[in-house]
């Protein structure tokens, strides 16, 4: 097993030969043969246990003979089919035969309980009882039969599953030795991981022990694997258990604990991996065995956002969705999450052919190739964008196209205004003209009291979108959504830090006190889609970002996660704030207030939006600034966005 590109690559599991197709009658015959045999054996043995060997001394010999030789054969003829029918009604024949879990056992117990209840009640309802009565099954026989049936049925299914997993695991296991691992976290994720690894030996990992902070679990076992104590026992694992890897199966909000355990494991020469979150597992996107190294995202300490999937699905399902900037890191994740919710068409627009191609291939691999349409287009090209809107007629537009790199835009403000402001205004106007239901602008916290050109251009984009809400005859609901830095996105500090660490350092940080709000890409995009369902039109929404993190702390944590020591193995070097950067980003403009929405992590700003009547004049002034020299352009931008404080060299 090797680690590459931040992912753990395991050997592919060999594919079993395709099973021949089995018709419904063949399937029914097979199940009747198996379950009928077990039911008959159970009932036969119940009579033997109850009446044979002199067990009941008070019963006359002729009564015993009546039960055994007269009633028992007739009982087999109606009780066995009764159990078979009830098992079928409880869904026992719809599942794959060699897959059997707790819910299958519970349904089986329910069906057998119903059968036993019928057997017990029939003598009273029919009035037939006695050793020669077909329906008069003794209560003691019925109860013994219930226990025997449950034991035989469940035991047989569990045995089939166990044998299959054992032989399948042995067949798929590589001849090399298994790596012995310890699982930190004896909860649901840890249990599922252990179960999958034990069932599929081909992963090359053998769990030998659990570690958990809950002292009540110490000394217990999960799937035969002992819970030996707290994670502080990590230093002894290599010598005592031969452990070479530690897998963390901890809740997403355990950021501090993940950091402590990772540092302890790394200090003792143990490689650290992490299991996907329960949210990812429940969503079906990954399996428990899709392991990866611990990342900075795991250290945010933010519980996963709970989304209203029904509302998002209703907004997206069966509709045409257009995403601009589809090749960017945010745009690609928007496309992925939209594609998973069943749109009629997904129109992917980007001016970069290479990025758009990669986004297209990723969605094809996801199984969404039939609904996607990638289009190379520039959002500032009016003729091309009119053609796109006329041909596709979208119901929802998610506008993520933007120039977002602060230092790069600072010396060329005209390009930021052209793409971020004029491009947004054009796409918003086309959305209104074509009566798009919803338009969502992906904005940024840098638009709040901006100190850089990028933030000021995005603030003007917000103003244009708000003004478009008042366009005569408009039916589109326009919403702008602000959020902060996204971990791992294009241009974020994390990829830069990783590259610097791989080169041996130094890791460059602008200032020891600079702080930023961080979110993961999937969380940010999920909340953007949630915001689209809640916007009332003309709104500016902001996502709850948690507590800001010092960039220097992020850098040091990433160095530690890479197995090095900050300022010892890898230098952390301060290089000074770049043009237009703040020490701490803000959440609202001066005098701007916000209120809560139906979602705990989404807030709505209460502010007077720009009037549509002034939009044409505003855009004309922006166009006039685009070709101007840098300093003049910034001063003109200051007139349009009074809260903007331009950086002057």
- In 3D space, the residue among 67, 50, 62 whose CA is nearest the CA of residue 141 turns out to be 50
Q: What are phi and psi of 541, to 5 degrees?
A: -105, 150
- The pTM of the whole model exceeds 0.75: no
In eight-state DSSP terms, residue 480 is E
Look at residue 249 and tell me whether its pLDDT is greater than 80: yes
Q: How far is CA 117 from CA 121, 139, 413, 510, 629, in A?
A: 6, 10, 81, 75, 89
Among the ranges given (203-207, 329-333, 334-338, 391-395), the one the predictor scored with the smallest mean pLDDT: 203-207
The per-residue pLDDT for range 216-246, each reduced to its tens digit, is 899 888 888 899 999 899 888 888 888 888 8
> What does the buried/exposed string (b/e) look like for 158-185 if buried means 16 or more CB atoms within 10 Å of the residue's CB?
eeebeeebeebbeebeeeeeeebbbbbb
Where residue 173 falls among pLDDT bands split at 50, 70, 90? very low
Contact 334, 323 (CB under 8 A): yes
Chain centre to alpha carbon of residue 47:
54
Our answer to whether residue 446 is catalytic in this structure is: yes
In this prediction, what percent of the chain has a pLDDT beyond 90? Answer: 26
Q: Report how far residue 547's alpha carbon sits from residue 551's, in angstroms, rounded to the nearest whole number.
A: 13
Token couple for 617: 């004049």
Which residues have CB under 8 Å from 269's CB, separation 6+? 238
Q: Report how far residue 466's alpha carbon sits from residue 536's, in angstroms, rounded to the nearest whole number.
A: 11
In eight-state DSSP terms, residue 94 is T
Domain ranges of the chain: 24-170, 175-294, 309-640
- In 3D space, the residue among 205, 213, 208, 214 whose CA is nearest the CA of residue 232 turns out to be 213
Q: Report how far residue 534's alpha carbon sits from residue 542's, in angstroms, rounded to the nearest whole number.
A: 12
Q: What is the structure's pLDDT at 15?
A: 42
Cα(first)–Cα(last) distance of the chain, in Å? 52
Look at residue 269 and tell me whether its pLDDT is greater than 90: no
Token couple for 66: 């009546």
Which member of 446, 458, 582, 634 is catalytic? 446
- 507-509 vs 549-550, strand pairing mode: unpaired
- In 3D space, the residue among 566, 509, 489, 518 whose CA is nearest the CA of residue 299 turns out to be 518
Look at residue 575 and tell me whether its pLDDT is greater than 80: yes
- Higher confidence at residue 472 or residue 28? 472
User: CATH for 309-640?
Assistant: 3.40.50.720
In eight-state DSSP terms, residue 537 is S
Contact 234, 182 (CB under 8 A): yes
Where residue 275 falls among pLDDT bands split at 50, 70, 90? confident
Q: Report how far residue 234's alpha carbon sits from residue 11's, in angstroms, rounded to the nearest whole number.
A: 27
Contact 322, 394 (CB under 8 A): yes
Region label for 284, one of left (φ > 0), alpha (ψ between -120 and 50) or beta (otherwise)? left
Among the ranges given (129-133, 549-553, 560-564), the one the predictor scored with the smallest mean pLDDT: 129-133
Token couple for 369: 């190739």
Q: What are phi and psi of 105, to 5 degrees?
A: -65, -40
Length of the chain in terms of residues written? 649
User: CATH for 175-294?
Assistant: 3.40.50.720
Q: What is the structure's pLDDT at 471?
A: 92
CB neighbour class for 490 (10 Å; exposed up to 12, middle 13-18, buried from 19)? middle
- In 3D space, the residue among 210, 151, 148 whose CA is nearest the CA of residue 182 turns out to be 210
Contact 557, 296 (CB under 8 A): yes
C-alpha dihedral sign at 558, 561, 564, 568: positive
- 179-184 vs 245-248, strand pairing mode: parallel
**Which residue do the tokens 């611990």 mark?**
294
Q: Do domains 175-294 and 309-640 have the same CATH topology?
A: yes
Q: Which of 4-18, 137-151, 299-313 has the highest mean pLDDT?
A: 137-151
Q: What is the structure's pLDDT at 121?
A: 83
Look at residue 284 and tell me whether its pLDDT is greater than 80: no
Contact 185, 246 (CB under 8 A): no
171-175, long-range: CB within 8 Å, 24+ apart, which pairs? 171/14, 172/13, 172/14, 172/200, 172/201, 172/202, 173/201, 173/202, 173/204, 174/11, 174/202, 174/204
Q: For the residues 295-310, what does the mean pLDDT come to?
A: 65
Token couple for 261: 């355990």
Q: What is the structure's pLDDT at 297?
A: 60
Q: What is the structure's pLDDT at 239?
A: 84
Where residue 3 falls among pLDDT bands split at 50, 70, 90? very low
């Amino acid at each position: 097993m090797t680690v590459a590109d931040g992912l753990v690559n395991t050997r592919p599991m060999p594919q079993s030969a395709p099973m021949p197709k089995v018709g419904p009658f063949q399937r029914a015959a097979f199940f009747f043969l198996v379950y009928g045999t077990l039911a008959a054996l159970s009932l036969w043995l119940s009579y033997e246990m109850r009446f044979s060997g002199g067990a009941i001394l008070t019963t006359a010999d002729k009564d015993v003979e009546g039960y055994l030789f007269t009633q028992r054969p007739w009982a087999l003829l109606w009780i066995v089919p009764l159990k078979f029918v009830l098992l079928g009604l409880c869904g026992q024949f719809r599942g794959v035969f060699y897959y059997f879990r707790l819910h299958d056992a519970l349904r089986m117990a329910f069906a057998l309980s119903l059968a036993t209840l019928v057997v017990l009640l029939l003598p009273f309802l029919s009035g037939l009882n006695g050793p020669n009565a077909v329906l008069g099954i003794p209560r003691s026989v019925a109860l013994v039969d219930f226990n025997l049936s449950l034991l035989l049925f469940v035991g047989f299914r569990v045995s089939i599953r166990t044998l299959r997993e054992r032989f399948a695991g042995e067949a798929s296991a590589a001849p090399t030795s298994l790596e012995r691992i310890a699982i930190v976290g004896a909860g649901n994720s840890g249990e599922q991981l252990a179960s999958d690894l034990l069932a599929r030996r081909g992963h090359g990992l053998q769990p030998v022990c659990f570690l958990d902070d809950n002292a009540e679990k110490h000394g217990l076992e999960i799937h035969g694997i002992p819970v030996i104590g707290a994670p502080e026992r990590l230093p002894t694992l290599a010598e005592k258990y031969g452990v070479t890897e530690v897998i963390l199966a901890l809740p997403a909000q355990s950021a501090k604990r993940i950091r402590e355990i990772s540092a302890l494991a790394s200090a003792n020469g143990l490689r650290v991996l992490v299991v996907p979150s329960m949210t990812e597992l429940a969503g079906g996107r990954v399996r428990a065995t899709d392991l990866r190294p611990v990342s900075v995202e795991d250290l945010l300490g933010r519980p996963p956002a709970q989304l209203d999937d029904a509302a998002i699905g209703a907004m997206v399902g069966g509709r045409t969705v257009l995403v601009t900037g589809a090749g960017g890191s945010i745009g690609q994740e928007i496309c992925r999450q939209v594609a998973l919710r069943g749109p009629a068409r997904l129109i992917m627009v980007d001016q970069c052919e290479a990025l758009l191609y990669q986004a297209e291939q990723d969605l094809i691999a996801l199984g969404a190739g039939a609904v996607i349409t990638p289009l190379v287009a520039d959002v500032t090209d009016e003729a091309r964008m009119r053609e796109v809107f006329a041909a596709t007629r979208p119901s929802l537009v998610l506008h993520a196209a933007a120039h977002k790199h602060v230092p790069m835009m600072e010396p060329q403000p005209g390009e930021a205004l052209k793409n971020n402001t004029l491009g947004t205004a054009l796409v918003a106007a086309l959305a209104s003209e074509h009566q798009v239901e919803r338009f969502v602008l992906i904005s940024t916290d840098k638009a709040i009291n901006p100190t850089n050109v990028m933030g000021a251009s995005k603030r003007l984009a917000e103003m244009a979108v708000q003004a478009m809400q008042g366009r005569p005859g408009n039916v589109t609901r326009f919403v702008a959504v602000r959020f902060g830095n996204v971990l791992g996105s294009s241009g974020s500090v994390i990829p830069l830090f990783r590259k610097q660490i791989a080169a041996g350092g130094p890791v460059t940080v602008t200032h020891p006190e600079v702080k930023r709000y961080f979110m993961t890409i999937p969380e940010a995009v999920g909340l953007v889609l949630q915001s689209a369902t809640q916007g009332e039109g003309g709104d500016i929404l902001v996502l709850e970002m948690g507590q800001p993190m010092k960039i220097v702390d992020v850098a040091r944590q990433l160095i530690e996660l890479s197995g090095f020591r900050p300022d010892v193995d890898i230098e952390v070097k301060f290089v000074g704030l770049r043009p237009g950067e703040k020490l701490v980003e803000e959440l609202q403009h001066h005098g701007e207030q916000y209120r809560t929405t139906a979602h705990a992590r989404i807030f709505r700003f209460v502010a007077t939006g720009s009037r549509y009547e002034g939009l044409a004049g505003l855009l004309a002034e922006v166009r006039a600034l685009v070709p101007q020299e840098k300093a003049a352009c910034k001063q003109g931008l200051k007139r349009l966005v009074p809260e903007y404080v331009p950086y002057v060299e």
